[in-house]
Amino acid sequence: MTDVERLFRTYNAALVRYLTRRLGDRDWAEEVAQETFVRALRQTSIQNERAWLFAVATNLVRDEARKDMRRRKHLALLAEQERDEMVEPEETTIERAQEAAMARKAVDALAERDRLALLMREEGLDYNEIAEALELSPGSVGTTLSRARRRLVESYESLQKSREEREKNAAS
Amino acid sequence: MQHLDEGTIHSWLDGALSADEAAQVEAHVKECPQCAAAVAEARGFIAASSRILTALDNAPRGVVPVAAPKKRVDPIVWRVAATLLVVAGGTLVVFRSGGREAPIATTNADTSQNTIAGVSPTVPASGETKMTAESTPPVRKPANPTRGTTIGSLQPSAVLIEKSAVKGGAGGAAPPTSQALPAPTPGVSYSGVARAPASQTNIPARENQKVAAPVSGAVTGNISLSSGSARAAAPTQQTRSALRLRGATALDETGAQFPLKEVGHPRTLGVKVTLYEVAPGDTVTFTEPVSLQLSGVVVTGVGTEERMARQTAGKTAAAPAKRAAADAASAPDSGRPNPTVGAIAPAPSAPVPATRVEVANGVTTISWPDPTTGSVLTLSGRMPEARLQQIRIRIERERAAAAGKKKP
């Protein structure tokens, strides 16, 4: 197993999930993740792999990086294998679709740094990794995360409340 | 200690604090209900945000929809299905046309007896070798004044035999006696009729087809089986009905001769063995060296059987011996112009070369050198030598005809 393959198998799922949550589009997320691994290939050494990968992915989203088609092909193949092993999420119901829409709205309402920190944390990155990826001081990650969580939840709850009110109004 | 700030609480809950820091926070939370409540709230936020983020995982694929790989049926499945359809359709057509032919055959037989009678039974003898399944006209060639031969006179069996003769030098075309059973296959039965109306001029193309069909269909190989049953069941209901069907005219004239019919090819190394049925229940064995290129013999028993069925109807009681006698003397006895044997046929082997005769256990065996190849041919059967000789002439005629056919 080559180094990039090991990296891919270890981090792809988390990275794609992070990017999907970040971008709201799975295909785009996979694209960016693949590009991230292509970038990793060019590195002679990476100190903190996970932090590096998430940082690069985050930057790629910003920069709309160019693609290395040949390598992406190979990685797409690996992604396909992995997808086969993954348990597909349940079929989307209307209820779930509404929840997803509200979650998306709530996430988008966050400040970029808060959002990224939160998404990275959800993927298991520790405070040092998040700090490294987002170029923050490690001491500020807790504050960033706490703020992000509170705002996310409050935002989501507020959306939920207004939806319930709309439904109540529609019913009456 | 000051109250814990929210960042520290989250750091502690996330396990991001050092052991010392964590111990301090833990101690404080135990003592400070306000901070304990804040910790509880933080746990709620962590759990809730985690749940909210999970909802994002149902993100759609592709801002620009990517064509999902359709589950297409493998092309091979379509090919197989198409093949089956074609085969099934073809089979249906065959069956249906077969079903159609049978009644037609009956009708023709019914209506054309008189004309049939007009056809000479000597088809094979009259150089009909050229007659193939495809060429109907030659059948009419023998149409001569010889009214009164039997139905069987010309018919498909003759054709079939011709065909077989062409291929393997087997088969005989003798004036028919009337014996037989209805053939099992409608197509075959028709063949008998296709020729029957040959009486005359217009033979529809359709008939040609039908004649052709049995020829190929005859190459079955279950001949001996069916002929066996034919022999066993001679006077059956079917033959009786066939009798009625044919009408009286032909009956009294039912022929003296039974057409030579190949009924089997017992496999024997080094020689080609052909079983001919010369009369119902009477078979002779014709043996010739393999070098005679007989590998291609076409068995035509199925085709002839049907015709014989009709013939049988007319002559159910005739004993083989009687038939043999009649066979031998048919032409002179009947007193009618019968263009059989010598009359038209070139009878290539007429000048009989040295013949050896053996009789053992009631089986007479005659052997003679083939006039063309010089190899020794044998013919054996439970019948008098005279009868065998006659059959032999017929066989040789067939063979000569077949040879003529080969080199037109």
Q: Which residues of A touch B44 (CB under 8 A)?
A: 153
CB of B40 less than 8 A from some CB of A:
no
pLDDT in tens, A10-64: 999 999 999 888 887 788 888 889 989 988 888 888 888 899 999 999 888 887 6
Give CA separation, A72 vs A10, A75, A106, B77, B379, in Å: 17, 5, 32, 34, 85
pLDDT in tens, B243-293: 444 443 333 333 345 667 777 777 766 777 888 877 777 778 888 776 544
Calculate mean pLDDT across residues B348-353: 48
pLDDT in tens, B134-144: 434 444 444 44
Most confident of A67-71, A159-163, B57-61: A159-163
Q: What percent of chain B is helix, strand and coil (3-state, nearest 5)? A: 55, 10, 35
CB of B44 less than 8 A from some CB of A:
yes
pLDDT (0 to 100) of residue B382: 83
- Residue B332, class by beta-carbon neighbours within 10 Å (0-12 exposed, 13-18 middle, 19+ buried)? exposed
For the domain spanning A91-172, the CATH number is 1.10.10.10
Please give the single-letter amino acid code of residue B313: A
pLDDT (0 to 100) of residue B163: 41
B181 band by pLDDT with thresholds 50, 70 and 90: very low
Domain positions in chain B: 6-55, 101-406
* CA–CA dist B215, B220 (Å, integer): 10
| HSE-CB for B149 with a 13 A CA cutoff | 31
Domain positions in chain A: 1-88, 91-172
Q: Under an 8 A CB cutoff, do B6 and A150 touch?
A: yes
Minimal Cα–Cα distance from B11 to chain A, Å? 5
Give the residue numbers in A contacting B (CB under 8 Å), as ranges. 17, 20-21, 23-29, 89, 92, 96-97, 99-100, 102-104, 106-107, 118-119, 121-122, 126-127, 140-150, 152-153, 156
Residue B347's region, left for phi above 0, alpha for psi from -120 to 50, else beta, is left
The residue of A146, A160, A163 whose CB has the most chain B CBs within 10 angstroms, and thus the best one to mutate to test that interface, is A146
Minimal Cα–Cα distance from A148 to chain B, Å? 9
Query: Which of A28, A143, A153 has the CB atom closest to B49's CB atom?
Result: A153
Q: Under an 8 A CB cutoff, do B46 and A21 touch?
A: no
B43 band by pLDDT with thresholds 50, 70 and 90: very high
Angle (CA) B155 B377 B332, round 5°: 45
Query: Which of B7, B14, B56 has the CB atom closest to A103's CB atom?
Result: B56
Q: What percent of chain A is helix, strand and coil (3-state, nearest 5)? A: 80, 0, 20
More confident call, A114 vs B307: A114
* CA–CA dist A105, B403 (Å, integer): 97
Minimal Cα–Cα distance from A21 to chain B, Å? 5
* CA–CA dist B368, B355 (Å, integer): 5
Enter the ipTM.
0.76
